[in-house]
Amino acid sequence: MAHILPFRAWRPQKHLVEKVACVPHDTVTRQEAKSIASNNPYCFLHVTRPEIDLDDTVDAYDDLVYRQGTANLGNFYLQGILQQDTKASLYAYELTTALHKQLGVAMLVSVSDYEQNLVCKHEHTRIKPENDRVKNIMALNAHTGTVFLVHRDHEKIDQTLGAITQNMKPDVDFIASDGVRHCLWPITDDHEIATIQQGFLELGPIYIADGHHRSSAAALVARQKRQNKPTGDTPWEHFMAVSFPQRHLKILPYNRVIKDLNHLNLKQFLEHLQKIAAIRSEKTAYLQRGEVGMFMHDGWRTLRFHEQLLSQRDAVKRLDVSLLQDHILQPLLGIDDPRTNDRIDFLGGSRGEKALEEKVLRDNFSVAFLMYPTDLDDLLTIADEGRVMPPKSTWFAPKLYDGLLVHRLL
């Protein structure tokens, strides 16, 4: 059972919402963030990616960056760009594209539940981005990023959220530059809040879809703060999240690019691959489970892992991302730990195949892998078993936007 709480969020003034709201900090590069926020002092990337306000020679993890973020968020408070709601609320949050709609609830989640695995994880975190989020939260004294959760379908929760969104005009309603419509409804009625809270108590565990680093960082911050103050009703004992029902969610692949072939030439690399996969010298229009698209300087190929690898019974080892890691990335390309190895990079599926081609042809990576998306049922099964998948196994889209809700730790 998960214990969720309403909270008095800090939110942009209505006439500034579209200027403040922005993509999650980890979905854009430094230069992309700088371009998005240019000529827009209200853009929340000034808070979540404050290095954009500093010279490019300043390292993104320099202490100066966190001080800049603190100053920028302070200005958002002082100038009234963000204002705190008067009543503790839950928030219905709906994302709509031309082909897809998902409706969830924004809330506070217990760090204690996270530590007891009632908020289940399915991936290990990477040290550098985790440390970055810890420093970010400590410097800002706030949670500015939202953890993306998934819960199993629950009729009462769905009915309550559905009634609210059908009967009330959204308090926030805008279409972002990528065409995704974002709508937000504060839920202030005590009975509706209690009904949703009871629904989460009946659900059992809930699951992290996207935001392992944000949730882990929130727990680490809480542990640090407990050293100076007792646990209890303190704001750092909860973190901000939005949870969506399982049936609403859509998973895209999380693709990989590798800088070099680990001293192998092309012929040697392909000879090794033939021992574990069938290779076609073409790009398959639609990948199937067990297939991986591979792009190199001479074009696209499609790999299909041999049947003995695909028929494994272990839920983790038979995942496409595991097959790639266990049989190609680690033994052939020397990517022993993708969380720390700087020869691998990850690209979310929404960036498409063109982004993979650019990494190879423009940025001089040696090989890019286009993945088949991980199944949501596999994610929940593995999380229920208390196990984890390789890092960056899932890319959920559309993304929650930053800047719509802030949880201040004061």
Distance in angstroms (rounded) separating the CA atoms of residues 188 and 294: 50
| Cis omega (within 30 of 0) for bond into 6 | no
Task: Give me the torsion for CA of 318, 324, 330, 336, rounded to 10°.
Answer: -80
Max CA distance (Å), the chain: 67
Dist. CA 12–CA 404, nearest whole Å = 7
Query: So what's the pLDDT on residue 232?
Result: 62
Segments of the chain with pLDDT less than 50 = none
Backbone angles phi, psi at 61, to 5 degrees: -110, 15
Classify 66 as helix, strand or coil. helix
253-305 per-position pLDDT tens digit: 999 999 999 999 999 999 999 999 999 998 887 899 999 999 999 999 999 99
* Cross-strand pairs, 101: 96
Q: Any idea how long the chain is? A: 410
Determine the Cα–Cα distance for residues 262 and 7; give it in Å rounded to an integer. 50
The CATH class of 254-372 is: alpha beta
Residues of the chain with CATH 3.30.1760: 254-372
Query: What is the phi/psi pair of residue 404, to 5°?
Result: -80, -30
Residues ≥6 apart with Cβ < 8 Å to 3 = 109, 110, 112, 113, 197, 200, 201
How are beta strands 181-187 and 172-175 bridged, if at all?
Answer: antiparallel
Tell me which amino acid residue 157 is: I
Cβ distance 210 to 148 under 8 Å?
yes
Give pTM, 2 decimals.
Answer: 0.86
Over residues 145-178, the pLDDT tens digits come to: 999 999 999 999 999 999 999 999 999 999 999 9
| pLDDT number for residue 313 | 86
Q: What angle do CA 41, 132, 46 make, to 5 degrees?
A: 0
SS3 state of residue 43? coil
Q: Indicate the burial class of 49 (C-beta count within 10 angstroms; 0-12, 13-18, 19 or more).
A: buried
Q: Which run of H or E residues covers position 322?
A: helix 320-324
What is the predicted pLDDT for the residue at 195?
Answer: 97
Q: Provide the 8-state DSSP code for 373.
A: P
What CA–CA distance (Å, rounded) separates 2 from 87? Answer: 22
pLDDT at 127: 85
CA distance 245 to 203: 11
Tokens for 143, please give them: 């949670």
Measured N-to-C along each axis, helices 212-226 and 127-140 cross at an angle, to the nearest 10 degrees, of 50
- The answer to whether 261 touches 333, Cβ cutoff 8 Å, is yes
Number of helical (H) and strand (E) elements in the chain, helices listed first: 14, 21
Q: How far is Cα 204 from Cα 185, in angstroms, rounded to an integer?
A: 25
Rounded Cα distance, 29 and 66, in Å: 17
Task: Supply the angle between the helices 155-167 and 190-203 in degrees, to the nearest 10.
Answer: 150
